[in-house]
Amino acid sequence: MNFLPIHQNAKTESNPSAVGKFYRQTSPSIRWWFLVVGLVVLGPLLFLTTYQIVQIQEARQKAIERDLADRTQSAAFAVSTRLQVGIGHLDSLASTDAALSGDFKSLHRQAQRVSQKIAGLTGIGLMNRDLTMHFITSKPYGALLPKPPSTRMAETVFATEQPAVSGIFEGPFSGKKVVSLGIPLFQNGVVTHCLFMAVSSDAWSELLKSQQLPDEWRIALIDQDGLTIGRNVLPERYVGTPVVTEFIEQMRAGQSGLTSFTIKEGLPSIGFSAKIPGYRWLIAAAVPRMVVEAPLRSRLAWLMGTAIGMFMLMGLLAYFAGRRLETWSRKLLRAVQAIKEGRSEPVEPIRVQELDVITQSLIKAHYAKRKVQEELRRHEDHQEQMNAKLALSSIDGLTGLWQRQGFVDQVNQRLIQRPEEMGLAVTILFMDLDGFKAINDTQGHQSGDKILIDVGRVLRDIAGLSHVVGRWGGDEFVMCVFVPHDWTEAGIHELVTRIKRRIEAIGHNLGCSVGRAAWDRSINNLEQLIDRADESMYSEKMVARRRMSQLRVVRA
């Protein structure tokens, strides 16, 4: 229908038919109005759908990034555990009578037996202070040995008197790419040699493959020079070659975390790197962006195809609906004309429900989106609260050791790695301070807290990276010891004696009762093992009290 403007010039007022013809030529038809309304309704719907697809993709990418970080940290822990196992084997050899007495021929035989039990090991050797090899298990004792191709690890061991790892190099005897792990060998309190083992890159690549990452993911172990030690995909091509520039710069800056780069295969990727605790190695995992963005592209392609189809359908609907409305308009005009002329004709009702349906759909979509956002916010708030509670409940605020639940979680994580398959035995030491209550009663809780802090420092120093230590409660402490199976009972006894001496050295007539329990087939879980160690400690404390009572009677 056409409407006349309020102001008209004289020409239009004198010629109404000219006005109608002008508006019929310049006004859009009903079909165009349908198309405009359809675009107005469909446009926000497509925008909202696109926005939700992008939001879902961003959430998926964040989930992948979290998974990437978790898996990288898990792989770093596996590498650290494997290094600790190697250090444990070397420590066992370094503490033998042959090593301590300088009987290196016997030490060579013992090292040969140990090297046969460790997968991926190319040899165990001994290096002199002048950086020449004394022996290597892959050669007979006394054989003439060439100069080692890499001495940086041994130089670090002699300089720091601490364990060290090398970069990757080609082994002179095996012809394989290897890395070496070395520890100092003490004689009469002086470092005289470096005891080391060489592990092939194949062993590290197999360790990375055992992490069971998705097929498209890449993970690599990198040495301090930026060379690849092991890789889960195509290790034969990339082991020993430099990694991409981004990671070399990251290593030089001492950084780790999430980054974007192009992997060696030439694929833009999202990567995460993590340091190996206690060593200068780095582990990096990457997911190609095409894997992350593939769902977004497919959804957008689907959306584009859907939009094109809807636009075509909307054009057809506009055409037929326009024709229908034109028919209704003609009938209405005939009815109006009939009324004007005094005639009466029935008027068919014109009903349009589509706009209402689209409006309701938009409202529902809006409320659905808002509900999803509210649920996400509640979930994020809940997750932050849980993370904060977990962080507060895991570490003892006084001693800095693991609290009870944190200790149990840490030990269970290590037990998942199956230490028995790595040649390790598990022993729990349960410790209770003797004389601590008297100190609290006579000197006050402030002195008691200082003693607990000193005890925590002593236990943390003794545990190092090989064992797990925690505060069980009050003046009770617990330590999980991972030692090689060939450790004797005397070795555990020596560790217990060292703990007691260090705690007694704190002063204040402080002592310590230590109970111990070793994991065997009769143990069903960690809690049962801790209970046995607790009972052992209680028995030791009772024996000590009876001994003191008998001594008082004799003195009396």
Per residue in 62-77, pLDDT (tens digit) is 888 899 889 989 999 9
CA–chain centroid gap for 127, Å, is 37
Distance CA 221, CA 230 (A): 5
- Where is average pLDDT lowest: 261-265, 326-330, 422-426? 326-330
- Structural contact between residues 162 and 137, judged by C-beta atoms closer than 8 angstroms: no
Residue 243 confidence (pLDDT): 84
Higher pLDDT, 5 or 238: 238
For 123-146, letters b (16+ CB in 10 Å) and e give bbbbbeeeeebbbbbbeebeeebe
Q: For 110-125, write each residue's pLDDT tens digit.
A: 999 998 888 889 899 9
Residue 231 confidence (pLDDT): 92
* Long-range Cβ contact pairs of 136-145 (< 8 A, separation 24 or more): 136/173, 137/108, 137/111, 137/112, 138/173, 138/174, 139/173, 141/104, 141/105, 141/108, 141/109, 142/105
Q: Tokens 């198309």 belong to which residue?
A: 35
Residue 490 confidence (pLDDT): 80
Residue 356 confidence (pLDDT): 41
What are the structure tokens assigned to 245, written together? Answer: 């520039």
- Structural contact between residues 146 and 94, judged by C-beta atoms closer than 8 angstroms: no
Q: For 153-183, write each residue's pLDDT tens digit.
A: 999 999 999 999 999 998 887 788 999 999 9
Confidence of residue 525 (pLDDT cuts 50, 70, 90): confident
Distances (CA, A) of 2 to 33, 87, 141, 337: 14, 93, 110, 16
Does 313 score more than 90 pLDDT? no
Other Cβ atoms less than 10 A from the Cβ of 218: the count is 22
Confidence of residue 332 (pLDDT cuts 50, 70, 90): low
Rounded to 10°, the helix 104-117/30-94 angle is 150
Distance CA 43, CA 312 (A): 14
The residues, any chain, with a CB within 8 Å of residue 521's CB and separated by 6 or more, are none
Does 292 score more than 90 pLDDT? no
- Count the helices and strands in the chain (H runs, E runs): 16, 15
Distance CA 516, CA 489 (A): 11
Does 510 score more than 90 pLDDT? no
DSSP code of residue 168: -
Across the chain, mean pLDDT equals 79
Does 371 score more than 80 pLDDT? no
Distance CA 553, CA 551 (A): 5
Residue 351 confidence (pLDDT): 53
- Structural contact between residues 225 and 124, judged by C-beta atoms closer than 8 angstroms: no
Residue 186 confidence (pLDDT): 92
Q: Which amino acid is at 409?
A: D
Average pLDDT value for residue range 331-348: 58
- Structural contact between residues 133 and 111, judged by C-beta atoms closer than 8 angstroms: no
